[in-house]
Structure 1
Amino acid sequence: MSNALPKEKQTAYQRWEMASFDTPQPPPPPSPQQRQAAEKADASARVKEQLASVLEQARTEGFASGLEEGRITGLDEGRATGLEEGRNQGLAEGRAIAAKEAQTLQRLTQSFQEEISKANELIAQDMLDLALDIAKAMLHSALKIRPEIVLPVISEAIRYLPSIQQPAQLFLNHDDAPVVRQYLGEDLTKAGWQILEDPHVERGGCRVDTASNQIDATSSTRWHRIVTALDKDNEWLAP
């Protein structure tokens, strides 16, 4: 068998040469143009580096300054916003409290006015009661001092009659009858009147009876009409 390598498996070969054992020569020094170009490149690199350092320092300082300024501005704006919001909230709460106090004051004022009106009404009623009591007492006293004041009462009672129909009777208190007979007896007798005494008729009053009419002009009846008109309950008591 042959040990030859087939052609398709054969590769190109390089000639082997023994390495030299001599000391290698140093590279030639750069030319002036090369040195000048290298120096320019170094200077440009240093400028770029310095510029980048300055820019980075400026960016850092600007960032710090902007951060501080932004923080101060943010604090000022936040404080202003907080003050405005607090002021608005305080105003709203103050208005609400003032409105509530105003309503309370209005209710108190209305209640006070109502109480004053009630007090005035009570005072007026008390004054009216006192006036009636005084008037009643004065009438009782006046009848004792001036018994002739019964005469206008009798004249008024007779005047209300449209016509006198017999028998015509005039009932008087036994203390008033003599006074009436003295001052009006003659005229009444001529007109057909009979003067009669009635213990149920109080002093200062009278009762008129005819065939078709009756007039109650007693003191208690006239007094009752007065107090009824005044919506009061104040009875007449004969002395």
Structure 2
Amino acid sequence: MQTAYQRWEMNSFDPRPVPTAAPAPLDVPAISLPTVDELNAIREQARTEGYDEGHAAGYADALAVGRAEAAAQLEHLQSIAVTFGNALSQADENIAGDVLELALHLARNMMRTALQVKPELVIPVVREAIEYLPVLQQPAILMLNPEDASIVRDAIGEELDKGGWRVIEDARIARGGCKIDTASNQIDAQVASRWNRLSHSLGKNVEWLD
């Protein structure tokens, strides 16, 4: 028990040290270093990816170059095709012209032979020449080779007389043809003249007599 004069002492306000627990260790993940095989695999992957990228770029460049070369070759081939086509067309024209000229030579020889074998072929020539006249005006003269004149008189002499025709023999006219002379028309139906007109109309110069 304290007396009134008992000395009072204030207790210390300093806190008493409270023992603390040790801090819990941090949860640090374990770090594992790559092995030699893993490092080699990483390097190989990087090398492969780099190769693929370079290969793709190189392929694109090569493809572009190839397309350009192919286009140039195609243009060259098209030019050759056009040139060849023109040359072929020209060759066709030349061949056609040669064939036509050969055909005319053959036809001329066949006609010469036919007139010798069948002299009566002069009759349709005379009829065609007469019918070609639009209007018959007198005098009407029909000139024939002497040998053809006898054939024509025997075949159509009466018809010619009724039409007012006078047949005149002229040795200068080759066999197989005739000449007509009227007041308003002259017709040259000689074989050589008719043949030359046909040949020239076809663009050739294959004369009846050469």
Does TM, scored on the shorter chain, surpass 0.5? Answer: yes
Between the two structures, name the one with larger relative contact order (CA 8 Å, sep ≥ 6): 2
**1:112 match:** 84
Task: Supply the distance in 2 between the matched residues of 1:114 and 1:167 (Cα, whole angstroms).
Answer: 58
Structure having the higher Rg: 1
Cα displacement (A) at 1:65: 9.6
Partner secondary structure for residue 175 of structure 1: helix
Task: Supply the distance in 2 between the matched residues of 1:234 and 1:75 (Cα, whole angstroms).
Answer: 85
Partner secondary structure for residue 165 of structure 1: coil
Check if 1:133 corresponds to 2:108.
Answer: no
Tell me which stretches of 4 or more aligned residues in structure 1 moved more than 6 Å: 64-70
Residue among 51, 57, 63 paired with 1:79? 51
Task: Supply the distance in 2 between the matched residues of 1:108 and 1:237 (Cα, whole angstroms).
Answer: 45
**1:169 match:** 141
Check if 1:144 corresponds to 2:116.
Answer: yes
Partner secondary structure for residue 131 of structure 1: helix
Check if 1:223 corresponds to 2:195.
Answer: yes
Q: Which moved more, 1:183-192 or 1:96-105?
A: 183-192
**2:60 match:** 88
Instruction: Please list, as runs of the form range in 1=range in 2, the aligned pairs for 1:1-40 lying within 5 A after superposition.
Output: none
**1:189 match:** 161
What count of residue pairs does the alignment treat as equivalent?
Answer: 181
Check if 1:178 corresponds to 2:150.
Answer: yes
Check if 1:123 corresponds to 2:95.
Answer: yes
TM-score by length of 2: 0.74
Cα displacement (A) at 1:69: 6.8
Check if 1:103 corresponds to 2:75.
Answer: yes
User: What fraction of aligned residue pairs are identical, expressed as a percent?
Assistant: 45
Cα displacement (A) at 1:68: 6.5
Q: Which moved more, 1:105-114 or 1:66-75?
A: 66-75
5+ residue gaps, structure 2, are 1-29
Cα displacement (A) at 1:82: 1.2
- What one-letter code is carried by the residue in structure 1 that aligns with 2:130? I
- What one-letter code is carried by the residue in structure 2 that aligns with 1:184? I
Task: Supply the distance in 1 between the matched residues of 2:46 and 2:174 (Cα, whole angstroms).
Answer: 102
